[in-house]
Amino acid sequence: YALLAVRFRDERPGPIMEPRIQYAQTKDGVSIAFWTLGEGEPLLHLAPSFSHIQMEWQIPKIRAWYERLAEKRTLIRCDARGVGLSQRELPRWPPWTEWVRLDLEAVVDRLGLQRFAIFAPMHGGPAAVAYAAGNPERVSQLILWCTYARAADWTTSPQVQAIRALIDKDWDTFAEAAAHVLLGWSAGDEARRFATLIRESTTPEGFQMAVRIVNEVDVTALLPRVKCPTLVLHRRQVRLLGVDVATGLASRIP
């Protein structure tokens, strides 16, 4: 979302009040932090790679992105388990698609939503595909941004491996490198803000655990079962994911 957000400028006469942080409990007993903004048809914005729903609001371009999305709909944004304001200490780490399903269902059920659209950036994409395929009666639309169906299609690249090697060696340097890779090396202050968000969103140990779980993701077989209207978006500047990954994903969805 940070890459999408740089296209927008906050041209409103005054800032919108920061949304109130709320909590929902999953069926396996984990507390999930979320907020809502706006009115209208519900759009659930899944967490990208790094997430801290309170700190994001302090970054002007990300805030402008959320405000734009909430102009004509109810935007719902939540931190995944283990990151941000959601519960950090976990009794277990389920498979990625189950993990996100439990988290998102806790939030939408807490809000009493029977049907909703999903915006799924980056690592949220595979879980959104799995949920849409298994719950067609609940997902009205699916928007996939810079994401993938199979982790092996991109996690084995030399660039990804080089960045991940920094996690244990120097967490601060990893955060700076990840922020610049995601936003571009000329992003300047915006990248520094995002690096701070990365450092605060999780711990090196928590991120390593998430990486191991994400590495096993493969929802390729579920793509033909997605029945809702689906839009696949990709930004060429996101070099960690090639355009071929996006086109392969789109070609398998009916």
Q: What is the pLDDT of residue 91?
A: 82
Kindly list the distances between the CA atom of residue 42 and the CA atoms of 52, 114, 119, in Å, as whole numbers in the listed order. Answer: 21, 10, 11
Q: What is the pLDDT of residue 164?
A: 77
- Does 55 map to a domain? yes
- Does 14 map to a domain? yes
- Does 53 map to a domain? yes
Domain count, the chain: 1
- Does 173 map to a domain? no
pLDDT(1) > 50? no
pLDDT(174) > 70? yes
- Does 187 map to a domain? no
pLDDT(90) > 80? yes
- Does 210 map to a domain? no
CATH value at residue 50: 3.40.50.1820
Angle, nearest 10°, between helix axes 96-110 and 124-134? 70
Quote the CA–CA distance of 142 and 166 in Å, as a whole number: 34
- Does 245 map to a domain? yes
Q: What is the pLDDT of residue 187?
A: 60
Q: What is the mean pLDDT of residues 203-216?
A: 86
Q: What is the pLDDT of residue 179?
A: 81
pLDDT band at 120 (very low <50, low <70, confident <90, very high): very high
pLDDT(47) > 60? yes
Of the candidate ranges 13-17, 28-32, 58-62, 166-170, the one whose mean pLDDT is the lowest? 13-17
- Does 18 map to a domain? yes
What CA dihedral angle connects 55, 86, 67 and 146, to 10 degrees? 90
pLDDT(45) > 90? yes
pLDDT band at 2 (very low <50, low <70, confident <90, very high): very low
Q: What is the pLDDT of residue 11?
A: 46
Quote the CA–CA distance of 155 and 228 in Å, as a whole number: 28
Residue 12 or 127, more confident: 127
pLDDT(74) > 90? yes
Domain carrying residue 28? 2-152+218-251
